[in-house]
Amino acid sequence: MQIDQNKIDGYNGQALRKHERALAYLQGEIPHAEEVLRLLGEFQVAIPSWALGTGGTRFGRFPAGGEPRNLEEKIEDIGLLHRLNRASGAISLHIPWDIPEDPAHIRALAAAHGIRFDAMNSNTFQDQPGQEHSYKFGSLQHVNRDVRKQAIEHNIEVIRQGVALGSESLTVWLSDGSCFPGQLSFRKAFENTLEGLSEIYAELPDHWKMFVEYKAFEPNFYSTTVGDWGQSYLFASKLGKKAYTLVDLGHHLPNANIEQIVSLLLMEGKLGGFHFNDSKYGDDDLTVGSIKPYQLFLIFCELVDGMNARNMKHATDLGWMIDASHNVKDPLEDLLQSVEAILIAYAQALLVDRAALTAAQERNDVVAAQEILQQAYRTDVRPLVAEARLRAGGALSPLGVYRGEKVRSGLISRRGVSTIATGL
């Protein structure tokens, strides 16, 4: 299901006047508005294939219908999002949920939608039908070399599939850990995992990156073998220069200062990418920016500053991905909200007067430093985000068009009400 450019233009036309008034006001306030617009225009956030269906918890799942039944339909859905917001031009696949039977076909289909293949994701946290060894007690950490070998080969297979699609990175998230004290040896689990990651790393094409994701808890509830940024950093350092840490916003202990972690990882040249979402308690996988938008802004402040300090290209030198799971929303609407929240935080971070901030820091003027950050954060940057989208051919209000065009009803009538996309 696609939405005609004419349709989008029609919606834009109706909202244009109000938009132009807002934009004009803002351009009068922000001298470097054009630079901000340019950067916003370049920014793309990858959509994970598993976020296109309704997410679930261990207590249940309440799908709303019209979920994509295969990889083609997943790409179609992201194409639709990207057409509306022009900022979702990438997909992050998960194997085995999204095995492409005909990579060339899939690649062409994605290209037709303007979508590239972001990081590939392996899965050693679930057992697949017919799988020889179980991951019940972990994968790369497992005491049994055969299980580890199976997990290593799976990851290498994922790289192979990624190469066929034109992806250039592998995200390794391990649920490995333990549920009870004594269940495993922390040291042996670490050593086994390092050995396994090294074997996978050895198979990585030269221009690829490996992202080692960490997570504090769940589904293991006593220990996690890649449990915090320090552990991920240890692995990435020992692996080599193609290995990086990946930060998922929901994977921390309560009250962690994530922006500081981001800053230090960037400083050490070891930040690889991001999984955006929001949360109140744990890995709640809520819509980006729905709970702690100021934290998101502070993270983007560190990203912008840190990338500038290393002359990195904002749009491409880190992996930007959403990783959310939507229990009570239409998944596509939710993704539109998430991308919007990311762009708003990015735009706000671009408004920060860095020179003034540095000067305030140099004189320990804490009050001024806070004012400078809040000046950027309190600015209503939505007109800039909308303008960047408009210039790229997207919709002033992606959600407005999506609802106006009754997309979900259309998807349900095509795909049925009881389809269930692969994923959690």
Positions in 36-65 near a second copy (CB under 8 A) = 56-60, 62
Residue reference for tokens 């599939």? 161
Span 91-130, contacts to a second copy by CB under 8 A = 125-127
Among 38-46, 113-121, 155-163, 248-256, which window interacts with a second copy (CB under 8 A)? 248-256
Q: Pairing between strand 243-248 and 271-276?
A: parallel
> Cβ 334 to a second copy, closest distance in Å?
7
> Cβ 302 to a second copy, closest distance in Å?
7
Number of residues in contact with a second copy under rule CB under 8 A: 105
Mark 74-93 with x for binding to a second copy (rule: CB under 8 A) and - for no binding.
--------------------
> Cβ 423 to a second copy, closest distance in Å?
10
> Cβ 291 to a second copy, closest distance in Å?
7
CB closer to a second copy, 118 vs 284: 284
Question: What b/e string do you get for 27-56 counting C-beta neighbours within 10 Å, with b at 16 or more?
Answer: eeebeebeebbebbbebbbbbbbbbbbbbb
Span 161-190, contacts to a second copy by CB under 8 A = 175, 178-188, 190
CA-closest candidate to residue 398, choices 309, 334, 328: 334
Span 262-301, contacts to a second copy by CB under 8 A = 263-264, 267-268, 279-282, 284, 286-287, 290-294, 298, 301
- As a whole number of angstroms, the distance between CA 197 and CA 235 comes to 8
Neighbours of 327 (CB within 10 A): 18
Does 14 contact a second copy by CB under 8 A? no
Structure tokens at 278: 């929001």
Pick one of 9, 13, 21, 406: the residue that binds a second copy (CB under 8 A): 21
> Cβ 312 to a second copy, closest distance in Å?
14
Q: Prior bond to 219 cis, omega within 30?
A: yes
Neighbours of 326 (CB within 10 A): 23
Alpha carbon distances (Å) from 23 to 19, 377, 385, 396: 6, 17, 10, 12
Pick one of 141, 223, 419, 422: the residue that binds a second copy (CB under 8 A): 223
Does 195 contact a second copy by CB under 8 A? no
Pick one of 73, 213, 302, 405: the residue that binds a second copy (CB under 8 A): 302
Contacts of 302 (CB under 8 A, 6+ apart): 259, 260, 262, 263, 266
CA-closest candidate to residue 212, choices 272, 137, 285, 302: 272
Alpha carbon distance, N-terminus to C-terminus of the chain: 24
**What DSSP state is assigned to residue 137?**
T
> Cβ 187 to a second copy, closest distance in Å?
5
Among 41-49, 72-80, 103-111, 228-236, which window interacts with a second copy (CB under 8 A)? 228-236
> Cβ 109 to a second copy, closest distance in Å?
28
Pick one of 43, 233, 276, 346: the residue that binds a second copy (CB under 8 A): 233
CB closer to a second copy, 14 vs 257: 257
CA-closest candidate to residue 163, choices 257, 95, 254: 95
Contact 154, 196 (CB under 8 A): no
Does 217 contact a second copy by CB under 8 A? yes
Dihedral sign, CA of 270, 229, 289, 2?
Answer: positive
Pick one of 234, 315, 412, 420: the residue that binds a second copy (CB under 8 A): 234
> Cβ 352 to a second copy, closest distance in Å?
9
Span 365-394, contacts to a second copy by CB under 8 A = 366-367, 369-373, 377-380, 382
Does 137 contact a second copy by CB under 8 A? yes
Does 308 contact a second copy by CB under 8 A? no
Q: What is the dihedral of CA 106, 112, 118, 123, to 10 degrees?
A: -30
Does 409 contact a second copy by CB under 8 A? no
Query: What one-letter code names the amino acid at 227?
Result: G
Helix (H) or strand (E) holding 273: strand 271-276
Mark 342-361 with x for binding to a second copy (rule: CB under 8 A) and - for no binding.
--x------------xx-xx
Does 229 contact a second copy by CB under 8 A? yes
